[in-house]
Structure 1
Amino acid sequence: MLKIGITGGIGSGKTIVCKMFEILGVPVYYADERAKWLTNNDLQLRKEIKELLGRQAYDEQGQYNRKWVAAQVFNNPELLKMLNSLIHPRVFADTDQWFLQNQDAPYILREAALMNAAGDNNDFDAVILVNAPVGIRIARTKKRDPQRSEEEIKAIMTRQKTEEQFASIANYTIINDDEHLLIPQVLELHEKLSTQA
């Protein structure tokens, strides 16, 4: 089984590309979604997050208080690093379990905004980059998250990899710029990866 990472900056369209692969029968692990699930459902992780950030990390309904937590760590890199050191190992353990459940698939995708090149502290065989121009990414994100200002979106972008850094880790690139057709690119890559597997 090939393990393929799929990444891209905010608004690049990673999710829509992943959904296309899922339609083709490819299992996809959504790291950010699973991280959200784990912060709410992993009791040990909840306990550790409360110890680090205080009880306000969870709202009155007992749900992870994402907005409040984001405000605490936004300008505090050290605190963000500590929070990530709690969450990331849980996500990696969860991923490993998911890999085992899907080991009969020719290849699987793990989607995440944070990613290294294949073989660089991970067991990926290759990395797919979903790429789009910055202007399009900002417009898409504003449409998807109307509560976010352009300044907020740009601030998120500055904390992610640059275009050059993303390009440097990619073995394959899918261009999602509203000009290149997505489906033929996904089908061609699916064919290639299925053959390699």
Structure 2
Amino acid sequence: MRRVGLTGGIGSGKSEVARRLAARGAVVVDADQVAREVVAPGTPGLRAVVERFGTEVLRPDGALDRERLGRLVFADADELAALNAIVHPRVAARTQELVAAAPDDAVVVYDVPLLVENDLGPDFDVVVVVDAPEDVRLARLVRDRGMDEAHAKERIAAQASRERRLAAADHVIDNSGALTDLDSRVEALWREIVPGG
């Protein structure tokens, strides 16, 4: 099994790269998806979040209001640490279950937004960073995700710097351009990281 850590700043296009790697046969473990799963309605994770942050982080249907919770934690390091203490152990346990279900010879791509922030690089055989300049990422967050510019800047500032991410990379995929450019870059990466790929 080959363990690939995939990361990139918010708005870099990391999910697009993950989709393209999955299409080439990689088993993708999406940390954000797992994080949503462990705080779904009825889970111990959601109960713990509500105990810590209050019922105002719930939507009327009882699901977590991620946007509201995000506004609470991304501007306050202590609040973010409290949320991470609830979510990260649950994500780690669920991730282990998913990896255990993958074939022994699989290329497992871990889509981990906070790989650098949490010093997880040594956990992987290869670290791939999807990179785009901050102004490009900011424009994508405002245009594609509907964030207001101030909130998007807070989210970017809460993550590791671009320089720190690039320093952790074994491979960098430049995603500052069009998606068509991304296809050839992912194909080149696949050939590099997979023997006979």
Task: Name the CA shift for 1:126/1:196 in 2 (closer, same or farther; >3 Å).
Answer: farther
Kept in 2, the 8 Å contact 1:118–1:124? The answer is: no
Mapped to 1, the partners of 2:59 and 2:24 lie a distance apart of 39
Kept in 2, the 8 Å contact 1:119–1:125? The answer is: no
Aligned match of 2:94: 94
Aligned match of 2:19: 19
Aligned match of 2:36: 36
Mapped to 2, the partners of 1:109 and 1:57 lie a distance apart of 31
Aligned match of 1:170: 169
Mapped to 1, the partners of 2:65 and 2:117 lie a distance apart of 32
Aligned match of 1:128: 128
Q: Which stretch has the larger CA shift, 31-40 or 71-80?
A: 71-80
Mapped to 2, the partners of 1:35 and 1:42 lie a distance apart of 14
Q: Which runs of structure 2 are paired with 1:145-156 in the superposition (5 Å)?
A: 145-146=145-146, 148-156=147-155
Kindly state the Cα deviation for residue 49 of structure 1 after the two structures are TM-superposed: 1.4
Task: Name the CA shift for 1:174/1:196 in 2 (closer, same or farther; >3 Å).
Answer: same
Task: Name the CA shift for 1:81/1:196 in 2 (closer, same or farther; >3 Å).
Answer: farther
Mapped to 2, the partners of 1:16 and 1:185 lie a distance apart of 12
Q: Which stretch has the larger CA shift, 51-60 or 129-138?
A: 51-60
Q: Which stretch has the larger CA shift, 117-126 or 30-39?
A: 117-126
In the alignment of these two chains, the number of paired residues is 196
Aligned match of 1:160: 159
Unaligned runs of 5+ in 1: none
Which amino acid is the alignment partner of residue 166 of structure 1? R
Paired residue secondary structure (2:40): helix
Paired residue secondary structure (1:28): strand
Task: Name the CA shift for 1:26/1:120 in 2 (closer, same or farther; >3 Å).
Answer: closer
Q: TM-score, normalised by structure 2?
A: 0.89
Point out 4+ residue stretches in structure 1 off by more than 6 angstroms: none
Mapped to 2, the partners of 1:28 and 1:116 lie a distance apart of 18
Kindly state the Cα deviation for residue 141 of structure 1 after the two structures are TM-superposed: 1.6
Kept in 2, the 8 Å contact 1:40–1:63? The answer is: yes
Paired residue secondary structure (1:40): coil
Percent identity, please. Answer: 27
Kindly state the Cα deviation for residue 56 of structure 1 after the two structures are TM-superposed: 2.4
Mapped to 1, the partners of 2:22 and 2:68 lie a distance apart of 33
Which amino acid is the alignment partner of residue 149 of structure 2? E
Mapped to 2, the partners of 1:169 and 1:196 lie a distance apart of 25
Alpha-carbon RMSD across the aligned residues, in angstroms, is 2.3
Task: Name the CA shift for 1:66/1:161 in 2 (closer, same or farther; >3 Å).
Answer: same
Q: Which runs of structure 2 are paired with 1:104-115 in the superposition (5 Å)?
A: 104-115=104-115
Unaligned runs of 5+ in 2: none
Q: TM-score, normalised by structure 1?
A: 0.89
Which amino acid is the alignment partner of residue 174 of structure 2? I
Which amino acid is the alignment partner of residue 163 of structure 1? R
The question of 1:10 aligning with 2:10 is answered yes
Mapped to 2, the partners of 1:119 and 1:159 lie a distance apart of 15
Kept in 2, the 8 Å contact 1:59–1:65? The answer is: yes
Paired residue secondary structure (1:181): helix
Paired residue secondary structure (1:39): coil
Aligned match of 1:77: 77
